[in-house]
Amino acid sequence: MTSTTPSPSVGATPDTPHRPVRAGARQWAALGALTLAVTLLAVDGTVLALAMPALTADLGATSTEVLWIGDAYSFALAGLLISMGTLADRIGRRRLLLIGVAGFGSASLVAAFAPTAGWLIAARVLLGVAGATLMPSTLSIVRNVFTDPAQRTRAIAVWSAGASGGAALGPLVGGVLLEHYWWGSVFVINLPIMLLVLISVALLVPESRNPAAARFDLVSAVLSVAAIVPLVWAVKHTAKSGIDPAGLLAAALSVGAALVFVRRQRTLRTPLVDVTLFARPAFTGTILVSLITIFAFSGLLFFFSQYLQLVRGHSPLEAGLRELPATLASIAVVVVAVRIIARLGVGRALAASLLVAAAGLGVLAITEGASGYAGLAAGLILVGLGIGMAFTASTDAILSAVPRERAGAASAISEMSYELGVALGIALLGTLHMALYRAGLPDLSGLAVPAREAVTDSLAAGTQALAGTGEQGAQVLAAARDAFAHGMQITSVIAAVLLVVAALIAWKVIPSGRRS
């Protein structure tokens, strides 16, 4: 539904001439191609939630495989963002962008026709790798193409709206496709769009690179992946299986790799990550707030589309349309975001927006257990307004917390924290929701063993297994839907509390000096 704005990567340089040049039609057309690429990435991050019930039934995916299908993309993306950013500066941002576009299209084709859940998980990893090559290039190119400060501000605003709006449109796009086609259509749609982006970038976007880029440090790149991916896996594994040697070993590997990575960055002349940025309280506070916000929001969102279909009984298209209020609200807030930030200051604006989103989640927690749609719509509008405003304010806060020449490094760290928050949110809140669902199930001893296992595994599998099983099956299915809704309510409350905590951190740590 929503996504933060992807950011430029470490080492990205504006390459701005001494005298700004006004952009013409060619530059604005190039912006359209870049925005389309980021929009598609954002759509791909959220469109899959609606397809989960259908692909679960078709591929026979277990609940664990469903979680991996959801967050494998973010794992790969988060682990490789920093490395790919440095590579873009070295080999050329346009060149890496073209490679990423081609790779994203190819991986989409593999995902669309995946014969098993394992194949789909592998394809999602490849999509994450390709996405990591795309994200570092787009905004850096925008900064290079638009050298006039006023035009650059407008260009970045358009680019940001495309990114956040694309993520918000994901459920609606998925609903339209799934209403008429099979679940793989949510990946097939990537192919013509990526072909258009490939041609447009090749014709319109100039090449740019950092002429002083250092040698690509492969050791640091490996350490950055080793510090992120095992940590996320350890959290997922522990949340599902409890504390055991495998989870502890993965966590220890992550911590060890992180320590070695930080030590190495302090000794390099041109590090992958400028760790001194974390000495700035405003920067560190904003990164923490962004991580908590995405963690709270993404874990809930992953199951909300399933709730609309499996509990409320809506078709994929109907579910996508019912999520539209959040989409429209998150896009509309861009119109007033600048005025609100100027009036309240960045820190207070960010805190207020998170409180609005928390209120929206509170409304959802109440209405998810009731009938009717009006309450859900009101909650979604509040969530959309709050999250849309929060993304704008947090991006402003991150760029304001560091000198302009270090904005690239700051934005890359921000994007990495976002992807990490998505993965952790799906892993932890998703696993918590499944635990609550299973705890709320009725006595299943009267069911056949396959049906009992299906209901316990997930509501999607249980719905398929209990279809046409008579009155007993209908009663069990109704109780399972109640358990799923109750789990959503508790998860929504927890997510709302996390947003309140993030709001308090923003209020206390992030400066709120007013701007003209």
pLDDT of residue 328: 82
Beta strands in 188-310 (DSSP E): none
pLDDT of residue 446: 79
pLDDT tens for the chain, 516 residues: list them: 434 444 433 333 444 444 667 767 888 888 888 888 888 887 877 677 778 888 888 888 887 788 788 778 877 887 787 777 777 777 778 888 899 999 999 999 999 999 998 999 999 999 988 988 887 677 677 767 777 755 765 666 677 667 766 766 777 787 788 878 888 888 998 899 889 989 988 888 888 766 666 677 788 888 988 888 888 778 767 766 778 898 899 999 999 999 999 899 888 877 777 787 788 888 888 888 988 888 888 766 667 878 888 888 888 778 878 888 887 887 777 677 777 877 888 888 899 999 999 999 999 999 988 888 899 999 999 998 888 788 777 776 776 666 555 555 666 677 777 777 776 787 788 888 888 888 888 888 778 888 888 888 888 888 888 877 778 788 888 889 999 999 989 999 999 999 999 999 999 888 776 544
pLDDT of residue 214: 63
**Longest CA span, the chain:** 78
The residue whose two tokens read 């692909």 is 55
Quote the Cα angle for 387-391-392, to 5°. 120
Q: Are 397 and 347 in contact (CB under 8 A)?
A: yes
Q: What is the pLDDT of residues 487-506, one digit of tens each?
A: 989 999 999 999 999 999 99
The CATH number that domain 25-217+268-509 falls under is 1.20.1250.20
Reading the block at residue 16, the tokens are: 């701005």
pLDDT of residue 13: 40
pTM: 0.76
Q: Are 298 and 425 in contact (CB under 8 A)?
A: yes
Distance from C-alpha of 340 to C-alpha of 353, rounded to nearest angstrom: 10
Domain boundaries, the chain: 25-217+268-509, 218-267
Distance from C-alpha of 126 to C-alpha of 105, rounded to nearest angstrom: 10
**Which of 234, 236, 183 lies closest to 64, judged by CA?**
236
Distance from C-alpha of 418 to C-alpha of 395, rounded to nearest angstrom: 11
Q: What are the angstrom distances between the C-alpha of 507 and each of 305, 365, 501?
A: 32, 25, 10
pLDDT of residue 156: 66
Q: Are 155 and 142 in contact (CB under 8 A)?
A: yes
pLDDT of residue 498: 93
Distance from C-alpha of 396 to C-alpha of 401, rounded to nearest angstrom: 9
Q: What is the pLDDT of residues 330-367, one digit of tens each?
A: 777 767 777 787 788 888 889 999 999 999 999 999 99
Residues in contact with 335: Cβ distance below 8 Å, sequence separation at least 6, in sequence order: none
Distance from C-alpha of 343 to C-alpha of 341, rounded to nearest angstrom: 5
